[in-house]
Amino acid sequence: MSAVRDVAIVGAGLTGSVLALALATAPGADFDLELLDAAPAHLPPDDIRAYAIAAGTRRLLHALGVWPLVAGSAQAAAGMDISDTRLAEAVRPIIASFESEARDGEPFVHFVDGRDLQGAVAQRLEETGVPVVHGWRLTGLHQEAAALRLAAREDDRLARLAVGADGGRSAMRRAARIGNVGWAYGQASIVTIIEHEVPHDGRAVQHFLPGGPLALLPLPGNRSGIVWSTPRDEADRLMAVSAERFAAALAEAAGPERGMIEVVEPPRAYPLELGLARAFVKPRLALIGDAAHRVHPLAGQGFNMGLRDVAALAETVIEAARRGEDIGALTTLERYQRWRRFDTVQLAAITDALNRLFAPDWAPLRAIRDLGLGLIDRAPRLKQTFIKEAAGEVGKVPRLLRGEAV
Ligand SMILES: Cc1cc2nc3c(=O)[nH]c(=O)nc-3n(C[C@H](O)[C@H](O)[C@H](O)COP(=O)(O)OP(=O)(O)OC[C@H]3O[C@@H](n4cnc5c(N)ncnc54)[C@H](O)[C@@H]3O)c2cc1C
């Protein structure tokens, strides 16, 4: 068995990896930490999702040296247009538009190909020398006197603080006996990348269709990332048809605005769930990212929420270490939980409500929601509030999200 580390992060997905960078590069903190992941080593980046990166997330990634590596392949958003239409309607009227400005003229969102993000984070991990152990799968947790023992078929690990960043099915959450509140949406999101004839001019589009929302997220050049949420059985059917039939169905759903489209990445389907851990902390343990919360992707907030966890947990732990406090003590970790709990529950509720509001294809409801969005569209202050919420600019903002060192 290995020696007691300060921090062991279980899960080297984007959230766990960025937390490792934040702790490893904190001036003067000098944590003995390692990143553990079940996946085999050296898998090439393969996440074809187009990530909506909010302004606060971008500042955090910049402070950790990740953003300069992806900036050249990021697409700044000029704005977002929303339509609420049936598939058959020839013209899709825009019922609300959001223009892109958060602070100091900075775009409120950039869109980045997930593979570029994964590549940049992996490069920074290598540059900063964070030890990453692959092929290590957590199987259980045992409380020791002043450490948590992380059991695995391979080598057990001991840590004063163990962080669960191991995704929606989190083994850390289950081993710690932390309950999970949530439900399956009965929907899946089909993700792919398209090339199109008509330039997007940096504008994202979200069509609220009867089966679920379809987003076209602008990437550099005439390319867009697709997130197409449909009922599960419809997603299964679309994933089983030929490439030509899939392309034709997507072209019909995406509407005529982008002209001819070509599907350039094989589509993948992600089942959708709402999930909230009943607690984010226990003695010597904290949950972050999808291990703590999963939300509907219609607002592109899941990873952004995970990085808000990273910023709040890193600041809590670094400050505790500087004051000579025990970084794994429940009193320390409860500060992180208090910081993140309200924002998380609020965003989970908003995304859930939006999905429920827009899914039914019932004419009177359609009229009411279109009237509601029309009113928001004509209320600049309310729109500004939504944009600030999406950019992570409300409440007490952790220093990394302001682009400052901790
Ligand atoms: C269709 C779709 C579109 C999305 N679009 C956006 C968007 O535009 N913007 C946005 O902010 N968010 C978006 N999200 C959400 C975002 O993708 C997730 O919130 C984010 O990827 C979660 O990252 P994570 O690191 O927490 O978890 P994961 O990416 O799931 O990583 C978990 C890691 O833990 C490892 N692991 C699992 N079990 C174990 C174990 N027992 N032991 C050791 N290691 C283990 C896994 O190998 C993996 O590497 C989207 C989600 C979906 C489904």
Q: Which residue has the higher pLDDT, 246 or 401?
A: 246
Q: Which domains are present in the chain? A: 4-49+115-182+274-365 (3.50.50.60)
Which pLDDT value is given to residue 160?
A: 98
CA of 117 to the centre of ligand 1 (A): 13
Query: Measured from the CA of 171, which atom of ligand 1 is nearest?
Result: 41
Q: Is the pTM of this model over 0.75?
A: yes
Which pLDDT value is given to residue 93?
A: 72
Residue-wise pLDDT tens digits, 263-282:
999 999 999 999 999 999 99
What mean pLDDT comes out for the span 296-306? 89
Going by alpha carbons, the residue nearest to atom 21 of ligand 1 is 303
User: Is residue 77 over pLDDT 60?
Assistant: yes
Pocket probe for ligand 1: among 15, 75, 238, the residue whose CB has the most ligand atoms within 8 Å is: 15
CA of 138 to the centre of ligand 1 (A): 17
Q: Measured from the CB, is residue 13 less than 6 Å from ligand 1?
A: yes
Going by alpha carbons, the residue nearest to atom 53 of ligand 1 is 270
CA of 295 to the centre of ligand 1 (A): 11
End-to-end distance of the chain based on CA atoms, in angstroms? 32
Residue-wise pLDDT tens digits, 146-179:
999 999 988 999 999 999 999 999 999 999 999 9
Instruction: Give dist(CA 227, CA 216) in Å, integer.
Output: 7
Lowest mean pLDDT among 28-32, 321-325, 378-382: 378-382
CA of 90 to the centre of ligand 1 (A): 37
Which single residue is written with the structure tokens 């990021």? 74
Structure token pair of residue 383: 């729109």
Which pLDDT value is given to residue 148?
A: 97
Confidence of residue 355 (pLDDT cuts 50, 70, 90): confident
Which pLDDT value is given to residue 103?
A: 61
Which pLDDT value is given to residue 98?
A: 75
Residue-wise pLDDT tens digits, 2-21:
689 999 999 999 999 999 99
CA of 19 to the centre of ligand 1 (A): 14
pLDDT, mean over the chain: 89
Confidence of residue 357 (pLDDT cuts 50, 70, 90): confident
Pocket probe for ligand 1: among 14, 238, 304, 347, the residue whose CB has the most ligand atoms within 8 Å is: 14
Structure token pair of residue 215: 């987003």
Q: Measured from the CB, is residue 12 less than 6 Å from ligand 1?
A: yes
Q: Tell me how far CA of residue 379 lies from CA of 126, 263, 367, 395, in angstroms.
A: 47, 37, 19, 22
Query: Measured from the CA of 303, which atom of ligand 1 is nearest?
Result: 11
Query: Measured from the CA of 289, which atom of ligand 1 is nearest?
Result: 26
Contacts of 83 (CB under 8 A, 6+ apart): 92, 93, 94, 95, 205, 206, 207, 208, 255
Going by alpha carbons, the residue nearest to atom 35 of ligand 1 is 11
Structure token pair of residue 210: 């009867």
CA of 327 to the centre of ligand 1 (A): 25
Closest alpha carbon to 108 in 49, 65, 59, 47 = 59
CA of 160 to the centre of ligand 1 (A): 25
CA of 370 to the centre of ligand 1 (A): 33
Which pLDDT value is given to residue 300?
A: 82
Percent of the chain with pLDDT over 70: 87
Query: What does DSSP say about strands 212-219 and 223-231: parallel, antiparallel, or unpaired?
Result: antiparallel
Residue-wise pLDDT tens digits, 25-53:
998 889 999 999 999 987 789 999 999 99
Confidence of residue 352 (pLDDT cuts 50, 70, 90): confident
Going by alpha carbons, the residue nearest to atom 4 of ligand 1 is 297
CA of 367 to the centre of ligand 1 (A): 36
Query: Measured from the CA of 288, which atom of ligand 1 is nearest?
Result: 26
User: Is residue 102 over pLDDT 60?
Assistant: no
Q: Measured from the CB, is residue 289 less than 6 Å from ligand 1?
A: yes
